[in-house]
Amino acid sequence: MTSYQAVMAQRNEIMRQSVGIDYRKYATGVLAFDYEALMADTGYDLERVRQVQQRTAVGDTPLVELKNLTRLLRLFSKPGYGARLFVKDEAANPSGSFKDRRASLSVFEAKRRGYPGVIAATSGNYGAAIASQAAKAGLRCIIVQEAFDSRGIAQPEIAEKTRACEAYGAEVMRLSVGPELFYQFLKLLKETGYFNASLYTPYSIQGIETLGYELARQVREQEHVYPDAVVVTHAGGGNLTGTARGLLKVGANETEVIAASVDLSGLHMASDHDFNRKSFTTGHTGFSLPFTTWPDRADVPRNAARALRYMNRFVTVTQGEVFYITQALAELEGLERGPAGNTSLAAAFVIAQQLRQDRIVVVQETEYTGAGKHPLAQLNLAKRMGIAISRGDPKTSKPGQSIVIPETPAQLDVVDVDLQRVRRSYLQHALQSEDKEAKLTEADYTFLAEETRLDITNVKEICDEFIGQAR
């Protein structure tokens, strides 16, 4: 039986075989599970992760102070304001992004456990990272991409990832638009017996902890303090979770962790029509909002990326602002980097203006750029799809219809996502995910409080409210 429903029904069994983790044993309540035990059971500590990554030249990327952008943002700050801006140049990793950190541990573990190959479902940088790591490890590799619409038009950024994965010797299965990519992914796991190099296993998240660790250490060594804020491009939650965990492990407990996503509200992520009407394939609200409010929608039973636990603030920026700052980074700092990774830079440019001059804001990644993964390619696609491109106030832009590139740095802004609403939405999803008759235990409420950073009383009140509404 290979019908959609039949394959989906085997989901849990296929997952168990393909990641070698029995998630059931971590259950501590109706919906609670022991997150730290899940993470600890990988057997890797931070030092061991660093050793694994150093074997393939992953990590230890430069921290660069963006002095010209700092000068620029101070022109628009109140007197005494305008924090120093730094960037962790993750494009220096072997396949050109921080995703090498995520891939390295997964592939190392796949090899150690004797899997013949690895599979990942990803249209972004992670595919190239897995393919690169698999090439070095001598493992076979299949990358499954959502790549083109029903007219056969590929997103330029994804087309570039197809090329990169093939350059590393991977098989690339390109699919048209739709969430059934997951169905095809399950069928492949079952057929091949390969390791599921999911973005959301504990290995993938532990791989990113070194990023938070390194950047805190680098700032500390240079400036004798930890950074005041770290801005993270936020999509599925792994980047934020791993970075924040790394910061905590090094002792940077006071550092504010700020999520930044491109606002793509109004575009449907499973719509064939909307697919090529977005310039960004990741780092946008189409992923970040669903994954923050319900992380366990991932391709593993329990997502090790649990961003809401670590997030102090969550902001959105527009596509036009990201293109603008990408151009500024190239022309003022001499760093030509891919636009998606600059989402956090666009936000940091504004956040730094809100902090005093002696403060330090770190943008925690860059990604490589090139044909397809470039503002020119993405804006040319937008024009082809009938999206209006103009200079003006980015606030007037509408995702899928217009991209407005600021006329002056003064027009760059961030929109705060109401975290209280996000937390309520998380709790609503959590309650919906379980059997209506199941009664939540104290362990569940404690878990939900940890997940949402609310106190238990507050969690209970909100849960009671939703349960009342359901009746």
Partner 1 sequence: MSERIEAGVWVEIHDIVLEAGERAPQVPEDTARIPLEMRVKGFLSEPAELGGEAEIVTAAGRRLRGKLVDVNPAYRHGFGPPIPELSTIGRELRTLLGQREISDD
Interaction site with partner 1 (CB under 8 A):
3-4, 68, 71-72, 75, 117, 140-142, 147-148, 150, 154, 156, 159-160, 162-163, 166, 169-180, 183-184, 191-192, 268, 270-273, 323-324, 327-328, 330-332, 371-372, 374-377, 379-380, 389-391, 405, 408-409
- Which element (helix H / strand E) includes 7? helix 4-9
Rounded to a whole number of angstroms, the minimum distance from the CB of residue 217 to partner 1 is 31
Phi, then psi, of 155 in degrees rounded to 5: -65, 130
Instruction: Classify the C-alpha dihedral 318-324-325-330 as positive or negative.
Output: positive
Query: What residues are paired with 88 via a beta bridge?
Result: 63
By beta-carbon proximity to partner 1, the closer residue of 126 and 275 is 275
**Nearest CB to partner 1, comparing residues 179 and 386:** 179
Choice between 154 and 347, CB closer to partner 1: 154
> How many residues does this entry show for the chain?
471
Name the percent of the chain in helix, strand, coil, to the closest 5: 50, 15, 35
Tell me the H-state helices in 256-339. Answer: 272-275, 285-293, 319-333
Count of other CB atoms within 10 angstroms of residue 455? 10
Of 25 and 273, nearer to partner 1 (C-beta) is 273
Q: Which residue, 174 or 309, is less far from partner 1 as judged by CB?
A: 174
CB of 332 to partner 1, least distance (A): 6
Q: How far is the CB of 406 from partner 1 (least distance, A)?
A: 9
- CB 329 → partner 1: shortest distance, Å? 10
Per the structure block, which two tokens stand in for 400?
């899928």
Q: Exposed, middle or buried, 122 (CB in 10 Å: 0-12/13-18/19+)?
A: buried
Residue closer to partner 1 (CB basis): 32 or 379? 379
Q: Which of 87, 92, 35 is nearest to 59 (CA)?
A: 92
Q: Which is nearer to partner 1, 185 or 226 (CB)?
A: 185
CB of 49 to partner 1, least distance (A): 27
- Strand pairing partners for 168? none
Rounded CA gap, 240 and 231, in Å? 9
CB of 34: closest distance to partner 1 in angstroms?
Answer: 30
Closest CA to 18 of 158, 123, 172, 142: 142
| Minimum distance, C-beta of residue 256 to partner 1, in the bound complex (Å) | 27
For partner 1, give the closer residue by CB, 238 or 375: 375
DSSP one-letter code for 176: E
Smaller CB separation from partner 1, 183 or 310: 183
- Residue whose entry in the numeric block shows the structure tokens 């990272």: 129
Of 180 and 393, which CB lies nearer to partner 1 in the complex structure? 180
What minimum distance in Å lies between the beta carbon of 23 and partner 1? Answer: 23
Q: How far is the CB of 376 from partner 1 (least distance, A)?
A: 4
Q: What φ, ψ does residue 314 adopt, rounded to 5°?
A: -140, 120
DSSP result, 104-132: HHHHHHHHHTT-SEEEEE-SSHHHHHHHH
What minimum distance in Å lies between the beta carbon of 40 and partner 1?
Answer: 33
Q: What is the largest CA-CA distance in the chain?
A: 68
Question: Cβ closer to partner 1: 187 or 460?
Answer: 187
| C-beta pairs of 146-151 under 8 Å, 24+ apart in sequence | 146/175, 146/176, 146/177, 146/178, 146/181, 146/275, 147/123, 147/174, 147/175, 147/176, 148/174, 148/176, 148/177, 149/176, 149/177, 149/272, 149/273, 149/275, 149/276, 150/176, 150/177, 150/272
Shortest distance in whole angstroms from residue 364 CB to partner 1 = 23
